[in-house]
Structure 1
Amino acid sequence: MSGDLPRSFKIVTFWLVLGALVFLGVQWQGRREQEARLTVVGDIVNLERARDGHYYWPGTLNGRRVVFLVDTGASRTAIPASLARELDLASEGEVRSNTAGGVVTGRLVRVDITLNGGVQARRRQAVALDGLGEEPLLGMDVLGRLRLEQFDGVLRIDLRPER
């Protein structure tokens, strides 16, 4: 019986390592798909809808590379509280926000946002929320300054100045 334990342990370890590698590969592929869904032609940015039905826009938040989830239902840009702590963002007070999951309390922070394609929003107030997930939410405080058009699974952002 004692001879079975090492063999069983090796088999279990093999499957755990294999499972972890598959999981990491799927996560990595998902990130690459999100980034590959952006094309820029002149002053037009096209975001293709991801498999999960959302639009993602790669960029930076205070110089850190991130992929924003485009959220036209959010009035304000929101970032994970863990990211705010990593970036050592100073709190400008607390705010209560209505979310799909109910009312939550977050911290107000200032951020610099740069989106691939040339969109910049400097010193914008955002809310840092616990339990938000990995992706920051790009809200209408930034998106509302842009001309958006959605059709056939593509979100088209026209960056040309209005005439």
Structure 2
Amino acid sequence: MITRNRVPGSPEAETRRIGRSLGLLAVLAFLALGWVSFDAAIERREDPNRNLVIAPGASELVLKRNRAGHYLLPGLINGQPVRFLLDTGATQVSVPAHLGPVLGLQPGAPASVMTANGSVTVRQTRIDQLVVGPFELRNVGSHLNPGMRSDEVLLGMSVLRHLEFIQRGDTLTLRVPGA
């Protein structure tokens, strides 16, 4: 049997090295594509309403429940984008205190509120403009909550009391009563 001497740096060795490098790059590209697809699928399950499209003149908002049973949706506070979590158990809109300066919210009088985690001292504030889907509210009662670590804003009854709710399966429709 005849074997060839493989000389490092020869054209054949260089071709094999390039081939292995391209193969490795292809595997890495395949893994990256799989990771991006998997990450997007998880995000769709966690926040199915993140890319809501509101038709001009719409009078209702249709939301899908996430896999944890919550309704999350994008919105605006004083023109700044936020992510709302609908919370019918919250009396007011509860804003994580660390978001207050970014959203242009001024801390007011302290108040004690009961949360799922117990009593918390919050600072009262007013939201000049709150937009959720096709709905815009002004001068909304809210508070800055120092106990909230996430960036999600709890959309409480100070907003939700102005809307009608219709829940069917995993879908929640919000509309102005009588519309």
Measured against the shorter chain, the TM-score band is 0.7 to 0.9
TM-superposed deviation, 1:56: 1.2
User: Superposition pairs for residues 1-163 of structure 1, below 5 Å?
Assistant: 25=39, 29=43, 33-36=48-51, 42-111=58-127, 112-116=129-133, 118-132=134-148, 133-159=150-176, 162=178
Summarize the Cα distance change of 1:113–1:42 in structure 2 as closer, same or farther, 3 Å threshold.
closer
TM-score by length of 1: 0.74
SS at match of 2:49: helix
Structure 1 moving runs of 4+ over 3 Å: 28-34, 36-42
> 2: CA distance between counterparts of 1:119 and 1:88?
20
TM-superposed deviation, 1:149: 1.2
Give the residue type in structure 1 aligned to 2:164.
R
SS at match of 1:85: helix
Write the deviation string for residues 117-142 of structure 1: whole angstroms up to 9, x where unpaired.
x2111111211001312100000111
SS at match of 1:74: coil
TM-superposed deviation, 1:45: 1.2
TM-superposed deviation, 1:96: 0.6
> 2: CA distance between counterparts of 1:37 and 1:52?
19
Gaps of 5+ in 1: 1-17
When Rg is computed on C-alpha atoms for both structures, the one with the higher figure is 2
Which of 88-97 and 144-153 deviates more?
Answer: 88-97
Kept in 2: contact 1:50–1:56 (CA 8 A): yes
Q: Percent identity, aligned pairs only?
A: 31
TM-superposed deviation, 1:113: 0.6
Gaps of 5+ in 2: 1-31
TM-superposed deviation, 1:37: 6.1
Number of equivalences: 140
TM-score by length of 2: 0.68
**RMSD between aligned residues:** 2.8
> 2: CA distance between counterparts of 1:89 and 1:36?
26
